[in-house]
Amino acid sequence: MLQKIKIDILGLAEVRRKGYAIEEHEDYIFCYKGETPGLHGVGFLIKKEHKNIIVSFTAFSDRVALLKMEYNNQLLAIIQVYAPTANATDEEINSFYEYLQVAQSQAGDNIFLIGDFNAKVGQHTTQDSENFVLGKFGYGNRNKRGEKLIQHALEYKLTIMNSFFKARKNRKWTWLSPCGNYKNEIDFILSSHPTRIRNVEVLHGFGFRSDHRLVRATYMLDQRKKSRTSFKSQPKPLKTDEDKSTYLKNLEINLHQLETEQEEDIQTFYNKLANIINTSLVRRLRVIMK
């Protein structure tokens, strides 16, 4: 299943299973939390090959769960949510955000916040404060829940990544009403490191009946190990055509941003160039939420 849609981590909303469990299957690991059979619940499906980099799975409620993974001494925290619907009371919404704040307080500074927010953020407004949070490729109109999500993103310095990638209108919506007449974008991927997100796209045809469509993000992991020792390790070779293509694309972007000073000597310029070549070596990790 995970191989079919080419993802590494699948975030799940509305798992609808009671209990807390971490199950190891042949091809994947299934983590979930639910309090009521057939209602709510959140979790993750993780490709089996990433088993050894899983640090922890923590559930704060049947609407908020935190997955921590460590790659080359770099901690990545993914928070999966299933927000109350538009019919929920303000008390229920506030309770959800309180659990979310607790999860974020334990997540560190490299955060993915993903899931069904039951909120419409709509289009970018003229407010300068939204520039970091919201891009120019939003969908639909903003509602009260969307305004609350934007305020939360501003407070925690998170970027709503769906809005920064252009797509046709019929590839932006993530939810279809039961009557089939209304389409909204209410599922989002937020990140504390937006420059490392290479793509966000909406997928369809997953093979399961659902009123939601999948949202997939491609995140660039730094391949260089962080170390406290003074020696320098050699970067891993680029084994596949995909690795080579990714490296060349990143190199082009980083070289475009290279700045030189008029009085700069050759050694300083060389150091900058060497750093760009090394930092362009990254590994892709596909994160997807449902």
Q: Report residue 263 CA to chain centroid gap.
A: 41
Strands 9-13, 42-47: pairing is antiparallel
Residue 221 tokens read as 């992991």
Strands 74-82, 111-116: pairing is parallel
Beta strands in the chain (DSSP E): 9-13, 19-24, 28-34, 42-47, 54-59, 64-71, 74-82, 111-116, 159-160, 175-176, 183-184, 187-191, 197-203, 214-222, 282-289
Residue 201 tokens read as 């796209």
Q: CA 217, CA 53: separation in Å to the nearest integer?
A: 19
Would you place residue 37 in the very low, low, confident or very high pLDDT band (cuts 50, 70, 90)?
confident
Question: Got the DSSP string for 78-142?
Answer: EEEEE---TTS-HHHHHHHHHHHHHHHHTT-SSEEEEEE------S--S-GGGTTTB-S---S--
Would you place residue 102 in the very low, low, confident or very high pLDDT band (cuts 50, 70, 90)?
very high
The domain spans of the chain are: 9-224+283-289, 241-282
Q: Do 27 and 47 form a contact (C-beta atoms < 8 A)? A: yes
For 43, other C-beta atoms within 10 Å of its C-beta total 28
Q: Do 115 and 83 form a contact (C-beta atoms < 8 A)? A: yes
pLDDT at residue 80 tops 50: yes
pTM score: 0.77
> Helices (H) and strands (E) in the chain — how many of each?
4, 15
The pLDDT value given to residue 150: 96
For 178-236, the pLDDT digits (tens) are 888 899 999 999 999 999 999 999 997 666 678 889 999 999 877 665 544 333 444 55
* Topology of the domain comprising 9-224+283-289: Deoxyribonuclease I; Chain A (3.60.10)
- Give the range among 46-55, 98-107, 167-176, 266-275 with minimum mean pLDDT: 266-275
Residue whose C-alpha is closest to residue 145's, from 112, 172, 108, 185 = 185
Q: What would you report as the CA-atom Rg of the chain, rounded to the nearest whole angstrom? A: 20
The pLDDT value given to residue 229: 37
